[in-house]
Amino acid sequence: MRHLLVTGAAGFIGANFVRYWLERRPDDDVLGLDALTYAGNRASLPPDGHPGFRFVHADILDEAAIERLMQAHAIDTIVHFAAESHVDRSIHGPDAFVRTNIVGTHALLKVARRVWLDGGDPGPRRFHHVSTDEVFGSLGPADPRFTEATPFAPNSPYAASKAAADHLVRSYHQTFGLPVTTTNCSNNYGPYQFPEKLIPLMLVNALEGRPLPVYGDGGNVRDWLFVTDHCRAIELALDHGRAGETYAVGGHNEWTNIAIVRLLCRLLDESFGANPALRRRFARCPAARGDSCERLIAFVADRLGHDRRYAIDAAKAERALGFVPQETFESGIGKTITWYLEHESWWRSVMDGSYRAWVEQHYGRESA
């Protein structure tokens, strides 16, 4: 039986991970921790009183609070998701990324070292750090995919802050013997993703009849993985990963952005065609009038320093952990669209307030 501390539990992947874990490991205790920034939503998690789950509102930089929680809940496993995660925000305001992703990760490492190692051999423990493929930089069209051996070359402040955190995690293993593992995963999609990231943003904008802003020529490539497959990879790293190792995780699923946006438009057009209730609920969507959502596509100025291509070679994760994605892109996108259509109140509530103000400031009133 494990006692897990999940940081960033109220974010996109953290919330999916908590739900995944509680369903598969009902004997374990999960303490979900989150500072509830604009990206964290308590409503994405199971309610208070759910068997095996507790939520605590705290900041990973609050070392005293983390130490108390680790002692009180006999934490033996940390799964560290908490981060500032949006590249565009890191371009407009990098400070928060340095604070949370670097200083915050270091705060957690210090506490884990104190609690687990200072009193002698603590028994089996694991600090799992959830990182990104963006630390490796950008690939050309014919370059081989990223592996664990690819040198770091982060290009955005987000990627640089995650790379710094990855190095700190490694150093706490090499220097102090902290039992750590790291996964560097490709782009995730699925339920509970904040509509500032490509796939949910395009879905909710199309439903609202707002422009679909495609950066540059739309030819940038990402390797997409359904979020539950990422959760499974982390579970496998906890169960079978070796302390000190890193694992590159991806979906063998490269798409240009424009191809994804066109696919989403086509699938929404088809859903509206087959379902008159959708036409009534989302009257501003072009598909409600029998038009295609594609007419909302708007090519806009490119992101600064926009990485051209990410792609992961997950051979080590497959060999060492037995990781194989179970969702196809077709099935995963289908589940994702259905989820956003069925959870309108979730995405409306998370897009209120500070997020809307931020979008207006950076993209103009029409997009907000």
List residues binding ligand NAD (CB under 6 A). Answer: 7-8, 10-14, 34-37, 39-40, 59-61, 81-85, 100, 104, 130, 132, 162, 185, 187-188, 194
* Sequence-ordered list of residues with C-beta below 8 angstroms from that of 192, at least 6 positions apart, any chain: 12, 15, 16, 41, 44, 227, 346
d(CA 71, CA 203): 43
Shortest distance (Å) from residue 78 CB to ligand NAD? 12
User: Nearer Cβ to ligand NAD, position 222 or 272?
Assistant: 222
Task: Choose the contact partner of 220 out of ligand TYD, ligand NAD, none; CB within 5 to 8 A by kind.
Answer: ligand TYD
User: Nearer Cβ to ligand NAD, position 53 or 194?
Assistant: 194
Shortest distance (Å) from residue 24 CB to ligand TYD? 27
Shortest distance (Å) from residue 125 CB to ligand TYD? 31
Task: Choose the contact partner of 36 out of ligand NAD, ligand TYD, none; CB within 5 to 8 A by kind.
Answer: ligand NAD
Question: CA dihedral defined by 159, 162, 166, 172, rounded to 10 degrees?
Answer: 150
User: Nearer Cβ to ligand TYD, position 180 or 214?
Assistant: 214
Name the token pair of 40.
């964290």
Shortest distance (Å) from residue 229 CB to ligand NAD? 12
Task: Choose the contact partner of 257 out of ligand NAD, ligand TYD, none; CB within 5 to 8 A by kind.
Answer: ligand TYD
Task: Choose the contact partner of 235 out of ligand NAD, ligand TYD, none; CB within 5 to 8 A by kind.
Answer: none
Based on the residue annotation, tell me whether 133 is a catalytic residue of this protein: yes
User: Nearer Cβ to ligand NAD, position 134 or 269?
Assistant: 134
Out of 34, 59, 88, 133, the active site residue is 133
**Cα separation values, 219 from 302, 308, 326, Å:** 11, 8, 27
Long-range residue pairs from 288-295, CB within 8 A, at least 24 positions apart, any chain: 292/265, 292/266, 293/206, 293/212, 293/264, 293/265, 293/268, 293/269, 294/262, 294/265, 294/266
Shortest distance (Å) from residue 100 CB to ligand NAD? 4
Out of 29, 59, 76, 134, the active site residue is 134
The amino acid at 321: L
User: Nearer Cβ to ligand TYD, position 299 or 344?
Assistant: 299
Spatial contact of 187 and 225, defined as CB atoms under 8 Å apart: yes
Out of 76, 84, 158, 340, the active site residue is 158
User: Nearer Cβ to ligand TYD, position 145 or 222?
Assistant: 222
Shortest distance (Å) from residue 261 CB to ligand TYD? 8
Task: Choose the contact partner of 213 out of ligand TYD, ligand NAD, none; CB within 5 to 8 A by kind.
Answer: ligand TYD
- Provide the binding-site residues for ligand TYD, judged by CB under 6 A: 87, 187, 197-198, 201, 213-215, 220, 222, 257, 303
User: Nearer Cβ to ligand NAD, position 59 or 313?
Assistant: 59
Q: Which residue is nearest to ligand NAD (CB)?
A: 11
Task: Choose the contact partner of 198 out of ligand TYD, ligand NAD, none; CB within 5 to 8 A by kind.
Answer: ligand TYD
Shortest distance (Å) from residue 87 CB to ligand TYD? 4
Based on the residue annotation, tell me whether 48 is a catalytic residue of this protein: no
Which residues form the catalytic set? 133-134, 158
